[in-house]
Amino acid sequence: MNHLQHIRHIEQEDAGMNRDESREPKRILVVEDDQDIQKVLIDQLALDGYKPRGVATGKEALEEFDAFSPDLVILDLSLPDIDGLIICQHLRKKSDVPVIILSARESLADKIRGLDLGADDYMTKPFEFLELAARIKACIRRGTQNRDGKEKIIRAGAITIFQEQGVVTIDGTPVNLTRKEFDLLLALAENRNKVVKRKYLCSRLWKNNEVYPWSRALDVHIRRLRQKIEPNPAKPTYIITHSGVGYRFRHEDNE
């Protein structure tokens, strides 16, 4: 396949992304009270091959979500009747349909809150439609993968791990982890309630066998991670040591 054929192949894949096996266009619910912005979104989404529907209030959003059965929701936060964050929370309780928050709210607290309540992505206004279109495709693609069983958000007690964003929160407050600390926590949480061997953890953190399983480097990272996520690092409740074997991320189902 030459370069031109490769480009055409990618374009054909992108064009086909908006349709499922029965050739039905993906349905997108646009929740936006600014009529000008809503019209632009509806028109552009239709041109991209989607089947969009617009609503301007939180009440309409909840009603249309059930009636329209969208494949993705674009959600403004500053709605006239119900805060968009509450709408996001309601949608996530009943469905795993991807939600992209599109809002003028730029604070880190709002972004973390939106992601913590179940949004898949967060964009601020003003925005470029090409970027939004790319994020829509990515969310729909990931949504299909997630329905096949792959987790994107892991919750354990007060801890929430957002895999795609590389963010960890405790009771909604972001925790400042290094890249290796995040990778270590993710490797443990993916296998929660199972003993994860030192060799496996070292291979996840150091891809090129830079560290041997018996190295103390792993224990140093465990200690630092405990200091950041454990209520009492001296008596850990999340990361449990199994001497000579590895570590276990403890999570009870009723937590």
DSSP letters, 122-138, are EEESS--HHHHHHHHHH
CATH of residue 47's domain is 3.40.50.2300
CATH of residue 208's domain is 1.10.10.10
79 with 131, same domain: the answer is: yes
In a domain, 126, yes or no: yes
126 with 196, same domain: the answer is: no
Q: How confident is the model over 222-236, as a mean pLDDT? A: 95
Q: Tell whether the model's pLDDT for residue 233 goes beyond 70.
A: yes
Quote the pLDDT of residue 231.
93
Exposure on the CB side of residue 16, measured as CA atoms within 13 A: 8
95 with 123, same domain: the answer is: yes
52 with 109, same domain: the answer is: yes
Q: What's the predicted TM-score (pTM) here?
A: 0.55
Q: Tell whether the model's pLDDT for residue 241 goes beyond 80.
A: yes
Count of domains for the chain: 2
9 with 110, same domain: the answer is: yes
Q: Tell whether the model's pLDDT for residue 5 goes beyond 70.
A: no
What share of the chain has pLDDT > 90, as a percent?
A: 51
Residues with Cβ within 8 Å of 80's Cβ and at least 6 positions away in sequence, in order, are: 33, 56, 57
Q: Give the whole-angstrom CA distance, residue 81 versus residue 207.
A: 51
14 with 112, same domain: the answer is: yes
In a domain, 73, yes or no: yes
Query: Could you list the residue range(s) of the whole structural domain that residue 135 is in?
Result: 3-147
Predicted confidence (pLDDT) per residue in 154-191, tens digit: 888 889 888 877 889 998 888 999 988 999 999 999 88
59 with 105, same domain: the answer is: yes
123 with 75, same domain: the answer is: yes
Predicted confidence (pLDDT) per residue in 38-79, tens digit: 999 999 999 999 999 999 999 999 999 988 889 999 999 999
71 with 95, same domain: the answer is: yes
Predicted confidence (pLDDT) per residue in 186-207, tens digit: 999 988 899 999 988 988 887 6
In a domain, 43, yes or no: yes
Predicted confidence (pLDDT) per residue in 81-126, tens digit: 999 999 999 998 888 889 999 999 988 888 888 888 888 899 999 9
